[in-house]
Amino acid sequence: MYSEKVLEHFRKPSNMGKIKNASGIGKVGNIVCGDVMWLYIKVGENSKGEEVIKDIKWQTFGCVAALATSSVVSELAKGMTIENALELSNEKIVKELNGLPPVKIHCSLLAVDALHEAIYDYLEKHNRPIPEKLAKKHERIQKELKEIEKRYKDFLELEKRLEK
């Protein structure tokens, strides 16, 4: 069901790990859904003086598609200007992976969301203006998260029980 490209990323994912003192962190997904991505970015300047994603790392709990999309998003975004990174779409990710099974398309969404959330986090922390589109997206992501937590309250309680 997975393309060879997906499997390659799954076998040898790029940029996995954590950035200490990251410029921004995006945390998306929820354990109840089985996919969680944390994405770290380090923002810097390129030779032209533009703000770019100097470094990027991620930690993902999830299926093959979740791991592969994390990896490919990190590869694509690395070195990109913030502006361009905000234009990154899940179609682009799916295409880059030579397609994903229909049931797994949501994973590509998740990876792009994680990147954009990290950028939001960076912009907010630095009191920078937040583009309207990004603000809306952030709102949607947070709302969805709340809804899931509400809907699966009992299920999440079980998780808390385990943590003890």
Partner 1 sequence: MWKGTAKTKKGANMIYLDNAATTQVRSEVIEAMLPFLDKKYGNASSLHSLGQEAKTALEESRAKIADMLEAEPDEIIFCSCATEANNFALKGLAFEAKKQGKDHLIVSKIEHHCVLHTAEWLESLGFRVTYLPVDEYGVVKLAELEEAINEKTFLVSVMYANNEIGTIEPIKEIAKICEEKDVAFHSDAVQAFGKIPLDLKKVDMLSLSAHKIYGPKGVGLLMKRKHLRIQPLLHGGGHEFGLRSGTENVAGIVGFAKAMELALKEMPRESKRQARMRDKLIKHALQIPESRLNGHPKKRLPNNANFSFRYAEGESIVMKLNEHGIAASTGSACSSPKLEPSHVLLALGLAPSEAHGSLRLTLGRYNRMEEIDYVCKVLPEVIEELREISPFWHKKS
Q: Which residues are catalytic?
A: 33, 107
Q: Which of 8, 10, 131, 144 binds partner 1 (CB under 8 A)?
A: 10
Q: What's the closest the beta carbon of residue 85 comes to partner 1, in angstroms?
A: 21
**Whose Cβ is closer to partner 1: residue 37's or residue 43's?**
37
Q: CB of residue 155 vs partner 1: minimum separation in angstroms?
A: 6
* Cα–Cα separations (whole angstroms), residue 102 to 7, 12, 107, 108: 16, 23, 10, 11
In sequence order, what DSSP letters do the residues of 7-26 get, joined into one string? Answer: HHHHHS-SSBS--TT-SEEE
Q: Exposure of 106 by Cβ count < 10 A (0-12 exposed, 13-18 middle, 19+ buried)?
A: middle
Q: Where does this chain touch partner 1 (CB under 8 A) — which range of 27-35, 72-80, 86-94, 120-128?
A: 27-35
Does the protein bind partner 1 through residue 155 (CB under 8 A)? Answer: yes
**Count of positions on this chain that bind partner 1 (CB under 8 A):** 35
Q: Which helix (H) or strand (E) holds 143?
A: helix 132-151
In the complex, the smallest distance separating the C-beta of residue 3 from partner 1, rounded to whole angstroms, is 12
Can you say whether the dihedral through the CA atoms of 130, 30, 6, 106 is positive or negative? negative
Whether 28 contacts 121, CB under 8 Å: no
Which of 88, 62, 60 lies closest to 75, judged by CA?
A: 88
Q: Does 61 bind partner 1 (CB under 8 A)?
A: yes
Residues that bind partner 1 (CB under 8 A): 1, 7, 10-11, 13, 16, 18, 27, 31-38, 59-64, 66-67, 101, 103-104, 106, 152, 155-156, 158-159, 161-162
